[in-house]
Chain A
């Protein structure tokens, strides 16, 4: 493992209050920012006021969507890193996200009237297929350098993306495709984000099963010795990851590097016990996405920069930092 941290510190969950407070502050800020006039004082006027309307229809759904997407994606990244036993893997470095996008495109071309839930199912199925393709490729790599694994995933993602782009170009859907692939929460209104709750439920399920995934992270033999079914565990883990990726892609587009950065930071701070770290990963994931969205909204106010771009920059820089930091320690 490239970047496994120092001796894990035991830290009480009471410390979670700190990021919780910060999140609450950012939630308030996120609700308050926007092109329309809004004041918290206006809320007191009662359920009929325009401020109240704005809050319920637009501001609150967006904030909730950000939190849910951030939390579930970060947890998905954590599970994937456990299962693949590589710190640099997450849905966007394993072809999962690209495969999900291909699924959405295929459905948009073949059966455009499919309801959102059906879209999600198809996207999840594609995401699953992409992830298993990735695992199959990994099995064929004789010498596994920790950096080779995400590299294969990134290129696989590129190949899948080329297929997607080919069909999108052919059927004049490039622009639509672009709108999906760059993560963007500006279109989130009441009634268009609720699927993300499903992602949160899946992340919660992952928390419940956290100990098992930790065990699976130790390898097939170890897992089998403890009397657990390794194959089935891996399958369920990847099912959760694929479903979460699909939900986020369908509702908001892809948010790169998130599932990579947050679990790594948490691991550096608190070690690798998944059950302990899941709440941290989820909370910091939500916090990170919220913060990035607020940045994107403030820089060119009253316009905004899609969150996919903001996370791409901050996440890419952090990823490079993790990579090169890991190397200097190795050397």
Chain B
């Protein structure tokens, strides 16, 4: 890209595109029934924005702390772990989180703590191994994901064989079956996490230079990494709770952001990734639902494109 476009202009351009997409989602085919259409689509839009935001930010941060542009929380099996924790909680406490009984805040706290714990274990494994074991970590992550999924469907069967199919459906990513009741909790959790991430943005820039340089620059490496892992755990929990697991979405938007942001700074990278997330999710939904009149979940299409991108990335010479 020889053309000199400042990162701010790039952001503005993409933001305009995202706005157009959002407007298209709200307006195309509404047919004048505003009283009905606006709240209905509004809730769906809000959920998609939250998910795009959570996945984009968590993926970029995860890649920053692992110094790698192929790893994302979902590829390492975090989504699947969240589902497993859900299943085990339902099984052991007998609380059905889908019907809002019990104490949702306490449950959310337990989930985040458990997920952060697992994240730290994986993270330690990542750093104890030599650089060549990236492929091993990826493979282990994907197998962890498969294992967690099998385990949670196993636990679901233990709960009640008759309700199994219903619950199984909930574990399948879909932007059509979003639980609007969760939106507020999700928005608040994400908001708090983002504030913290934004305050740390300069430290992330330093982290991209590598662990040694970051430490030399006076960054408390361990503390930053632990905090970030907790942030990621919150974001993954939120997005998975809203739509279920999507393996390659984070990979797609973060890598697009690296290519298009025109800067390595997180104050550009993070919003850029979020905007790409919005464009893909909302735009994909508009394209599939309204333009092509296809009855398919956009997540499946994203998995397809993301999977191809992943294959391209790992088979490139550099890795």
Contacts and interface: CB of A to CB of B under 8 A. Distances in A.
Interface centre among B139, B147, B307 (most CB of A within 10 A): B139
B32 to A, nearest CB: 29
A319 interface: yes
A316 B136 CA distance: 15
Contact of B140 (A148, A166, A169, A323): A323
A313 B148 CA distance: 8
Contacts of A156: 307, 311
Given A163-B304, A323-B143, A147 B135 contact: yes
B143 A305 contact: no
A316 B315 contact: no
Interface in A141-186: 141-143, 145, 147-148, 150-152, 154-156, 158-159, 162-163, 165-166, 169-170, 175, 178
B187 to A, nearest CB: 29
Interface residues of B, number: 42
Contact of A151 (B132, B139, B149): B139
Nearest to B307: A159
Nearest to B317: A142
B271 to A, nearest CB: 28
B158 A300 contact: yes
Contacts, number: 106
Contact of B142 (A141, A151, A299, A305): A151
Contact of B129 (A154, A316, A331): A331
A159 B157 contact: no
Contacts of A312: 146-147, 149-150
Given A148-B135, A148-B314, A327-B136, A316 B146 contact: yes
Interface in B122-160: 129-130, 132-133, 135-136, 138-140, 142-144, 146-147, 149-151, 153-154, 157-158
A156 B312 CA distance: 11
Contacts of B132: 145
Interface of A is mostly: helix
A162 B304 contact: yes
A319 B142 CA distance: 11
A71 interface: no
Nearest to A322: B143
Given A88-B139, A166-B296, A305-B157, A320 B144 contact: yes
B41 to A, nearest CB: 21
B305 to A, nearest CB: 9
14 contacts: A141-B315, A151-B314, A152-B315, A156-B311, A158-B248, A158-B307, A162-B304, A166-B304, A300-B157, A303-B161, A309-B150, A312-B149, A312-B150, A327-B136
Given A162-B300, A323-B143, 16 more contacts: A88-B139, A142-B317, A145-B135, A151-B139, A155-B307, A155-B310, A155-B311, A156-B307, A158-B247, A162-B304, A169-B295, A169-B297, A256-B146, A300-B161, A312-B149, A331-B130
